[in-house]
Amino acid sequence: DTVLTQSPALAVSPGERVTISCRASESVSTGMHWYQQKPGQQPKLLIYGASNLESGVPARFSGSGSGTDFTLTIDPVEADDTATYFCQQSWNDRTFGGGTKLELK
Amino acid sequence: QVQLKESGPGLVQPSQTLSLTCTVSGFSLTSNSVHWVRQPPGKGLEWVGAIWSGGSTDYNSALKSRLSISRDTSKSQVFLKMNSLQTEDTAIYFCTRQGPYGSFHYWGQGVMVTVSS
């Protein structure tokens, strides 16, 4: 199985730029997607195909990467962005990263 | 608009079989693939399995021996059956419609399943 590794937590101040990383144990080409999940809610798709912004998602969110290293960037961060962010790959079956909990200072 | 809604028992006894239903609207199951994803309380997401638009299935290799996914296209429903349940299967179970590039585009609200005697 393709293992996706994310940092467990980050804390940033509103208005700052934050990058959330996801590393795959083997190449997933650009089959990487990013989700935001708030407590008690289902995940919400933000980025698909590594860098494509889902319709309706603010342009503050962007994604980059290919192969094994991927990044989700939020610039600038707003208070409402407090959530857990998950990466997911679709190149080799389907697996998720463990999630990065974003907190605002 | 696209909607997915999970239903099923909230409590299942250990060693018993879990049966869940995902009722969809706003799209056709013969043109779209539906996946199941689960999330233990306070933990991350785990892909469970999928039924593709053509009717074939794929399962998480760790769950494959206990899992079956099927559908009734006339009722716009997808079914998950998992046997030999253990406490580790306690989770919120989501159904989700596949989106572009293999992403998960639309999600149901999820149904909480507790495995306990």
Q: What is the 3-state secondary structure (H, E, C) of B95-115?
A: EEEECHHHCEEEECCCEEEEE
Rounded to the nearest integer, the mean pLDDT of chain B is: 97
Q: DSSP 3-state assignment of A79?
A: helix
The reported pLDDT for the residue numbered A51 is 98
DSSP character at residue B40: -
Backbone angles phi, psi at B88, to 5 degrees: -65, -15
Closest residue on chain A to B97 (Cα):
A45
| B105/chain A closest Cα distance in angstroms | 6
Average pLDDT over residues A84-105: 97
B100 to A94: CB separation less than 8 angstroms, yes or no: no
Q: Closest to B44 (Cβ–Cβ): which among A33, A90, A96? A: A96
CB A46 within 8 A of CB B107: no
> Measured between beta carbons, which residues in chain A are less than 8 angstroms from residue B102?
31, 33, 90-91, 94
Which of B48, B59, B101 should be substituted to probe chain A, the one whose Cβ sees the most A Cβ atoms within 10 Å? B101
Q: Contact A35/B104, CB-based, under 8 Å?
A: yes
Q: Which residues of B touch A48 (CB under 8 A)?
A: 99-101, 103, 105
pLDDT of residue A23: 98
First to last CA, chain B: 39
Which of B50, B60, B107 lies at the smallest CB-CB distance from A43?
B107
pLDDT of residue B22: 98
CA dihedral A59, A56, A51, A75 (to 10 degrees): 30
When pLDDT is cut at 50, 70 and 90, the band that residue A21 belongs to is very high
Contact B11, B69 (CB under 8 A): no
B78 neighbors B96 (Cβ within 8 angstroms): no
- Residue-wise pLDDT for B38-67, tens only, equals 999 999 999 999 999 999 999 999 999 999
Q: Is the CB of B104 less than 8 angstroms away from the CB of A33? A: yes
- The confidence score (pLDDT) of residue A61 equals 98
Q: Are B34 and B48 in contact (CB under 8 A)?
A: no
Q: Does B1 touch chain A (CB under 8 A)?
A: no
Q: Which stretches of chain B are DSSP H helices? A: none
Q: Which residue of A has its CA nearest to B98?
A: A90
pLDDT (mean) for A61-72 = 98
Q: Are B64 and B55 in contact (CB under 8 A)?
A: no
Give pLDDT tens digits for B77-103. Answer: 999 999 999 999 999 999 999 999 999
Dihedral class, residue B84 (left if φ above 0, else alpha if ψ from -120 to 50, else beta): left
